[in-house]
Homo-oligomer: A and B are copies of this chain.
Amino acid sequence: MKLYDCTTAPSPRRVRIFLAEKGIVVPTVQVDLRNNEQLTPAFRAINPDATVPSLELDDGTRINDAIGICIYFEAIKPQPPLMGETPQEKALIVSWQREAERNGFYAVMEAFRNWARGLKGRALPGPYDYEQIPALAERGRLRIGHFFEQMNARLAQSEYVAGPRFSIADITTLVTIDFAASAKASMPETSTHLRRWHAQVSARPSAKA
């Protein structure tokens, strides 16, 4: 088994944190995104979607999606559960994971990829080139602001994003917030609940992954 990874990229960090929480070690192969290694024919033969992470199983099967990879590891090593145990808990965790991804992770990606000089002509990950849209970078920044408000309100009511237990929804939210900071969008001082939660999850050993 091996994990195609890039230590500076947010998507594979979700998997790295997940694995650290599970206590699973997987050999990694670093893919040099800065030099567009993901777009080479060699890498596109591995993942036609030209993205990391990708997990290669021993039988050659490849799982080309961060959440797909987490589902695989949750199934083979259910403890500690990061995706819920009861039907209701599973449903709520995936719903919050997706909400954080849709309203947060994708908003940061929108803001960052439509603005960064190094990503001209590469406004979306994947095999196709799309021009940057400056209005989309601006909209992304507005959305990040709303995401901070939304998560602050949620974390005023709940210890973790999806309820009383740490879960994959916390992983997506943590990676999103740290990714936003790298795009110069930081949690407002007034988001005290979000900041309380961020300090708490950042103190877990897995956050270093």
Instruction: Please name all residues of chain B whose beta carbon is closer than 8 Å to the beta carbon of A143 when the two chains form the complex.
Output: 124, 128, 130
**B98 contacts A75, C-beta separation under 8 Å:** no
Per-position contact with B for A59-80: 1 when CB-CB < 8 Å, else 0? 0010111011101100110000
Q: How far is the CA of A139 from the CA of B90 in the complex (A)?
A: 35
The prevalent SS among residues of A at the interface is helix
Total copies of this chain within the assembly? 2
**B61 contacts A75, C-beta separation under 8 Å:** no
Q: Report A53-106 residues with CB < 8 Å from chain B CB.
A: 55, 57, 61, 63-65, 67-69, 71-72, 75-76, 86-88, 90-92, 94-95, 98-99, 103
**B88 contacts A57, C-beta separation under 8 Å:** yes
Instruction: Please name all residues of chain B whose beta carbon is closer than 8 Å to the beta carbon of A55 when the two chains form the complex.
Output: 91
**Closest residue to A132 on the B side, CB-wise?**
B135
Q: How far is the CA of A68 from the CA of B124 in the complex (A)?
A: 26
Contacting residue for A91 out of B72, B146, B150, CB 8 A? B72
**B87 contacts A76, C-beta separation under 8 Å:** yes
Instruction: Please name all residues of chain B whose beta carbon is closer than 8 Å to the beta carbon of A76 when the two chains form the complex.
Output: 87
**A130 contacts B139, C-beta separation under 8 Å:** yes
Q: Report A129-156 residues with CB < 8 Å from chain B CB.
A: 130-131, 133, 135-136, 139, 142-143, 146, 150
25 A-B pairs with CB atoms under 8 Å apart are A48-B150, A49-B99, A57-B88, A63-B95, A64-B95, A64-B99, A65-B94, A65-B99, A67-B95, A68-B91, A68-B92, A68-B94, A68-B98, A71-B87, A71-B91, A71-B94, A72-B90, A75-B87, A76-B87, A128-B146, A130-B143, A133-B135, A133-B136, A133-B139, A135-B135
